[in-house]
Amino acid sequence: MAVIETLTVMEKETKLVDNEISVIIMLEKKFGEFMKSYDLKIWGKKMWEWVALSCDGYMIKTIPCTPESDVLTLIKPLLTDSKYTVVLYSDTPLFKRQTLNEIMTYVRQRDLNVLPLRRGYVFNTDYIRNADSIRVLVQEDFGTDDFTVVEDYAGLAKVSKILKNRIINFHLSNGVQINDTLSTFIDADVMIEKGTVLEPNTYIKGASFIGKNCKIEFGSVIENSIISDECIIKCSYISESRISEKTVVGPYESVVAKSS
């Protein structure tokens, strides 16, 4: 079984789809004439996938757009039977699930048909299905930082730094010891068990899994691999591989597409 296939069957929380809400993510190019900026990767996820992550558990559809696109024209063919339709944009990768929950609580409590967001909308689906234009009667501000728009490479670098810190803090709170947060790099889909130590200048990439009480020493790179419990990785490169419990790798080894 390939490493990626193995990772997909590990213990993960299975979430049921909430049929009351559907989400449409507008894929807008922000910079680069021929580049799909929404496909640029930040810590292993495309920019639009960060927005989708905040909507996990809801039905999600995507559609390309331009700054001149008419929102209603684009979304009407994508409307579902969900009570609410949330429209977000691919260029706001800092958008958080907590903010979405606050927005939906506000909409439900006030029984709103339309709520404009800093970048996007929430619609009552039945109302907007038959509307000819968007009439805004209520405005409220939510999550200023969540709607930070990535318009150029400088903005991409700024957002990348914020998301890096979110990932690092997530692992710290789960009992991972990270000795130098500035020089440690972890992709979004990485799973690390508690008790593991990451030394400076380490990069854990892709859909990697690191078990309990491991030590990933200075300068190691692990990509799309499984590191079992109590392993020591000494300044080595490991890719598409599985390392058995209590194994010592390195120093200065390259392990590619192997099991040990």
Last residue of a domain, one of 101, 123, 153: 153
pLDDT reported for residue 140: 78
Strands 120-124 and 114-117: antiparallel
Same domain for 116 and 32: yes
Same-domain check for residues 185 and 133? no
Domain-embedded: residue 242:
yes
Final residue belonging to a domain, choices 153, 185, 206: 153
Residue 199 domain flag: yes
Q: Which of 123, 153, 183 is where one domain is finished?
A: 153
Confidence band for 32, pLDDT divided at 50, 70 and 90: low
Tell me whether residue 162 is in a domain: no
Burial classification of residue 120, based on how many CB atoms lie within 10 Å of its CB (0-12 exposed, 13-18 middle, 19 or more buried):
buried
pLDDT (mean) for 222-230: 96
Answer whether 38's CB lies under 8 Å from 219's CB: no
Is 114 domain-assigned? yes
Instruction: Please report the pLDDT score of residue 1 as a whole number.
Output: 31
Residues 6+ apart with CB under 8 A from 193: 175, 176, 210, 211, 212, 213, 214, 229
With cut-offs at 50, 70 and 90, classify the pLDDT of residue 45: very high
**Are residues 148 and 114 both part of a single domain?**
yes
Q: Hey, is 228 helix, strand or coil? A: coil
Residues 107 and 217 in one domain: no
Q: Is 118 found in the same domain as 35?
A: yes
Cis before 251 (ω within 30): yes
Segment 4-22, tens digit of pLDDT: 333 333 333 334 456 899 9
Mean pLDDT for 147-160 is 93
The reply to whether 34 and 68 lie within a common domain is yes
Same domain membership, residue 178 and residue 149:
no
Domain region containing 123:
11-153
Shared domain for 199 and 142, answered yes or no, is: no
Say whether both 86 and 187 belong to one domain.
no
Q: Is residue 75 part of a domain?
A: yes
Q: Does 149 share its domain with 180?
A: no
* Domain count for the chain: 2
Same domain, 109 and 187: no
pLDDT at position 5, please?
Answer: 32
Residue 159 belongs to a domain: no
Q: Are 207 and 223 in contact (CB under 8 A)?
A: no
Residues 104-126: pLDDT tens digits?
999 999 999 999 999 999 999 99
The CATH number of whichever domain residue 37 belongs to comes to 3.90.550.10
- 99 plus 205 within the same structural domain: no
Q: How confident is the model at residue 12, as a pLDDT?
A: 34
Cβ proximity of 176 and 116 under 8 Å: no
Q: For the segment 230-253, what is each residue's pLDDT rounded down to a tens digit? A: 999 999 999 999 999 999 998 999
For residue 169, tell me if it sits in a domain.
no
Q: What is the mean pLDDT of the chain?
A: 89
Mean pLDDT within 211-232: 96
Is 43 part of a structural domain of the chain?
yes
pTM for this prediction? 0.86
Write the CATH number for 221.
2.160.10.10
Collapsing DSSP states into helix, strand and coil, what is residue 60?
strand
